[in-house]
């Protein structure tokens, strides 16, 4: 889980499913990413970047309220709002199965990621 940049491929928030806003094979400006490394987490909702302290344990990750966040004038949507609200500042369970990371919030929202493939 740590040391990998993960690309969001599916989210279920409040019972509503949000398919991937992008894929590795068709890059998009709306890349929702997360990366855990050395006691920190960094993420992006495709517009703003956010960072926070993170403690990764056996199957939970506790993420502090974000310590830095860019404040660009982004178009509001439910997924973007939930992405920052539900992941940062919360304790979340995680699983990795077949190269797929799933973060599950206490409220039951899920965010499923695949490793991001960097292409020159």
Would 120 be classed as within a structural domain? no
Mean pLDDT taken over the chain: 77
Average pLDDT over residues 29-34: 70
The answer to whether residue 54 is domain-embedded is: yes
When divided into structural domains, the chain yields a total of 1
118 falls within a domain: no
Establish if 119 belongs to a structural domain: no
The per-residue pLDDT for range 66-86, each reduced to its tens digit, is 666 666 666 656 666 666 666
Residue 53 — very low, low, confident or very high, per pLDDT cuts 50/70/90? confident
Q: Which domain CATH number covers 61?
A: 2.40.128.270
Query: Whole-model pTM?
Result: 0.77
Kindly state whether residue 76 falls inside one of the protein's structural domains: yes
Mean pLDDT of 15-35: 65
The gap between the terminal CA atoms of the chain, to the nearest Å, is 23
In a domain, 101, yes or no: yes
The parent domain of residue 53 ranges over: 5-113
CB-based contacts of 26-34 (< 8 A; 24+ apart in sequence): 31/7, 31/116, 32/7, 32/8, 32/79, 32/83, 33/5, 33/6, 33/7, 33/8, 33/116, 34/5, 34/6, 34/8, 34/87, 34/103, 34/111, 34/113
């Amino acid at each position: 889980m740590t040391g990998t940049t993960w690309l969001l491929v599916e989210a279920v928030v409040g019972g509503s499913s949000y398919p991937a806003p992008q894929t590795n094979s068709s890059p998009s400006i709306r890349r929702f990413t997360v990366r855990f490394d050395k006691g920190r987490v960094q993420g992006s909702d495709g517009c703003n970047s956010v960072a926070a302290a993170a403690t990764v344990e056996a199957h939970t990750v506790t993420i502090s309220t974000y310590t830095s966040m860019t404040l660009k004038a982004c178009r509001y949507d439910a997924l973007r709002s939930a992405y920052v609200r539900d992941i940062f500042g919360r304790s979340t369970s995680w699983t990795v199965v077949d190269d797929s990371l799933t973060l599950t919030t206490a409220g039951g929202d899920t965010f499923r990621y695949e490793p991001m493939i960097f292409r020159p």
